Amino acid sequence: NAGVTQTPKFQVLKTGQSMTLQCAQDMNHNSMYWYRQDPGMGLRLIYYSASEGTTDKGEVPNGYNVSRLNKREFSLRLESAAPSQTSVYFCASSVEPADSGNTIYFGEGSWLTVV
Amino acid sequence: ILNVEQSPQSLHVQEGDSTNFTCSFPSSNFYALHWYRWETAKSPEALFVMTLNGDEKKKGRISATLNTKEGYSYLYIKGSQPEDSATYLCALPDYGGSQGNLIFGKGTKLSVKP
């Protein structure tokens, strides 16, 4: 019953450091997402992948890169971390795009602090 | 970007109380509305996806209604229990924006006191 698994769960970075958040789903879903959650804000989409080999920018893509490595895995990379990227990051997946009325299934979140 | 409003921002009720909260959205060009339940330190969990005006969905003591013509959805919890304490999120597809994107409201945080 793994569903969507993301790592690490907690990370502290220094400004300028780089890191990659890993995400994998075992539900054979086509679409995968990276969201961030900040206090007082709704979940906001960083990047989206409709299928293996495709990625699209979301609302807040600046400072991030993504890789859809295969159908299961979708990673998020911070090349040069900034304090503004302190947030909780959620990976998610759905059978088909969420704008078609499909349910999104979320991972448990990764708490990232940039100092 | 679509404007999704949820009210109230937070709610404190006693165990056994019934409660409800609102998600408001532009009524034009509606496609679907999602409700999620999010407990701190856990994954947001899907409750309902609603697509038709007049839809009513139920899951145990939680139910939801949808009015697409006036642009709102209500989530009801009957006989609240402490385990219902969570943030309830609604979300709608972002028409004209990123394909696949859901725009989430800021949520209603429910606290149920024993």
Mode of pairing for the β-strands spanning B10-14 and B108-113 = parallel
The lowest-confidence range among A21-30, A75-84, A93-102 is: A93-102
Q: What three-state secondary structure class fits A99?
A: helix
**Sign for the pseudo-dihedral over CA of A26, A65, A100, A41:** positive
The token duo for B90 is: 């609604």
Model confidence over B6-29: pLDDT tens digits? Answer: 999 999 999 999 999 999 999 887
Q: Which of B68, B99, B108 to mutate to test the interface with A (most CBs of A within 10 A)?
A: B99
Model confidence over A44-64: pLDDT tens digits? Answer: 999 999 888 899 998 899 999
% of chain B with per-residue pLDDT over 70:
94
Task: Give contacts of B3 with chain A, Cβ < 8 Å.
Answer: none
Q: Within a 13 Å sphere around the CA of A96, how many CA atoms are in the beta-carbon half?
A: 4
The token duo for A82 is: 């900034």
Residue A48 to residue B102, Cβ atoms within 8 A: no
- Per-residue confidence at A66, pLDDT binned at 50, 70, 90? very high
Q: List CB contacts of A98: < 8 A, sequence separation 6 or more.
A: A31, A33, A104, B34, B93, B100, B101, B102
The token duo for B66 is: 């949808």
